[in-house]
Amino acid sequence: MDSCNAVFDRKEFEDAISKAKNTTESKSILPILSNFLIEIAPSNYTLKATDLENYISIKGRPEQAEVGCTLCINSKKLGDIVKNLSSATLNLSLINDSATGSSYIQIQSGRSKFKLTLSEASEFPAFPEIEEQMTKNTMIGSMLMEGLERTEYATAKDDSLNPAITGVNVSIEQDSQKPLVEFAATDGSRLTVFRKHYSLEGVENAYAQCSFTIPKKTIKILKSITNKASFVNIHHKEGNSFLVFEDKDNWRLFSRLLEGQFPDYKIYIDGTERPFQAKIQKKELKDLIRRLSFSSEGNVIPIKLTFGDNILIGESSDRELTEGRDEIDIDYLGETFSVELNAKYLKEAIDYAPNEEYIFISTNDPANGLLVHCKDSQEDSYYYASLIMPFG
């Protein structure tokens, strides 16, 4: 007989599954991590998933639920079934088979009916809790997403010596009447920073100064669940194992912090005078890079740039001795200098720069790298910079 029965809006339930699926672990040696834990009550439900590095819980309301129950269901099978249903609602029932002593889930929607086996809910990992001593900051979703999108590309793919650089570092500081939030990422060959003053309008919690690093997988999860118009609470405590994000009415995400310290990077951006500075149209520089990228193989595209009076010369070659040379006009007066670097890094630095028309490239010595940067000329509300190191 049915010991638990609930009716769900299919689209809403599918959305919750979609948001949680990035937190499951299908290839883990622990099969339980490939499951969702669904806790159903008469007035609400919570869908949970974890890979032991990230723990997510998503809240929702069933259209109807008679009694509460807790179900542990394979996440991929449940997701595949729900997304292909054609009816507006689905009925999920826990069936206790007295003949065999086993239980299973029955999903019925319109004429479709499916039977799913259950895993043992008691084996599902326990979730951490928010500690009272944690510092709480509130960001609007668009603010968090903008900072991550402009810097994540520069994170290291993998670094066993310093895992901290496989994420984006976030620093929050009070500056006059507006908080200054800075995002930074590096892979050792480049360093990208995006800082911006944000309005406190609509924010419940005044900004508290702190710094933390968001792991790369957590960023992927945040992108899939964050509503850019909503407010995201961020809980952090120095020395704690977890960073916590939450949209208090919808979801909560615990992210295990990376080992090690993010590099003290600010001196490389702000602590160096760079007297050689060129102003360049973004489109023209991107076109030059594109034309000279015929030798592109993998992630390394060697290019030589020579800066002269109001001209930039680009040169490239490949293993078959195919050579290319191109030039564009720029705003630059000063000593002629050349630098060889990865054109892929330069293109990405340009692509993610906020300014639509111009970027600036500056240096004090090509051996110390090129700084690609721009800022808001109207209100000075943002600053973007990417320091790219040369070959050799």
Query: What strand order describes the sheet that includes 2-9?
Result: 64-65, 2-9, 89-97, 102-109, 112-117
Mean pLDDT confidence for 334-361: 94
| pLDDT tens profile 275-295 | 999 999 999 999 999 999 876
| Cβ atoms of residues 107 and 81 within 8 Å | yes
CATH of 2-123, one of 3.10.150.10, 3.40.50.620, 1.20.1050.10, 3.90.79.10: 3.10.150.10
Closest CA to 283 of 328, 316, 332: 328
Q: Where is mean pLDDT largest: 145-154, 178-187, 260-269, 352-361?
A: 145-154
The confidence band for 180, taking pLDDT boundaries of 50, 70 and 90, is: confident
pLDDT > 50? residue 1: no
Where residue 291 falls (left for φ over 0; alpha for ψ -120 to 50; beta otherwise) is alpha
d(CA 210, CA 203): 17
CATH code: domain 272-388 is: 3.10.150.10
Q: Where is mean pLDDT largest: 94-103, 363-372, 373-382?
A: 363-372
- Percent over 90 (pLDDT), the chain: 71
d(CA 66, CA 169): 46
Q: Which CATH architecture has domain 135-266?
A: Roll (3.10)
Q: What SS3 state is found at 42? A: coil
Tokens of 238: 């120095």
Indicate the pTM of the whole model. Answer: 0.91
| pLDDT tens profile 294-323 | 766 667 889 999 999 999 999 998 877 788
Degrees, nearest 5: CA angle 91-96-97: 120
In DSSP terms, 105 is beta-bridged to 94, 116
Residue extent(s) of CATH 3.10.150.10 domains in the chain: 2-123, 135-266, 272-388
Please report where in the chains the tokens 């299908």 appear, as a residue.
Answer: 26
